[in-house]
Amino acid sequence: MTQDPSTNDLARRDVLAVGVAMAVTGVGGLAQAQETKAMYGLIGQMKAAPGKRDELVAILAEDTQGMPGCLSYIVARDATDADALWITEVWTDKDSHAASLKLPSVQAVIAKARPMIAGFGHRFETVPVGGVGLAKT
């Protein structure tokens, strides 16, 4: 079967146009994955010394500003355990989280909170993709 050369050229241009459109718009995730790093999320349970949970919450939540790359930092009381709390964090990337632990302000909070921390429960690393209050990066 013989194909009309103009039809063959048209088909190649259509395929090329679709490929360029996919690369520009990020369809399929290839262009988007190359341009942005994955966000980094951390959800962890912390156990306070008996009767010290509210004091610990106050310390952990008092100065959460000024952490470069931090998109969300939430401290919450556990609804079923009077000594437990949950910390949920979203960062632009894992490196930003690691760098935050070296900040003098974060080191000071850790030092102040340490005597009230009885231990740690569950810890989950996540890859946030969006949601209410969280802009896509």
Q: Over the stretch 54-86, which tens digit does the pLDDT of each residue have? A: 999 999 988 767 899 999 999 999 999 999 999
The backbone torsions φ and ψ at residue 133, rounded to the nearest 5 degrees and listed phi first, read 80, 0
* C-alpha–C-alpha distance, residues 90 and 93, integer Å: 8
CATH for the stretch 40-126 = 3.30.70.100
Which run of H or E residues covers position 14?
helix 5-25
Which run of H or E residues covers position 122?
strand 117-126
Instruction: Output the average pLDDT for the chain.
Output: 80
Asked if pLDDT for residue 12 goes beyond 60, the answer is no
Query: Which distant-in-sequence residues (6+ apart) come within 8 Å of 42 by Cβ?
Result: 87, 88, 89, 91, 97, 123, 124, 125, 126
Query: Which distant-in-sequence residues (6+ apart) come within 8 Å of 111 by Cβ?
Result: none
Asked if pLDDT for residue 22 goes beyond 60, the answer is no
Q: Is the pTM of this model over 0.75?
A: no
Q: Where are the domains of the chain?
A: 5-35, 40-126
Determine contact, residues 1/7, Cβ cutoff 8 Å: no
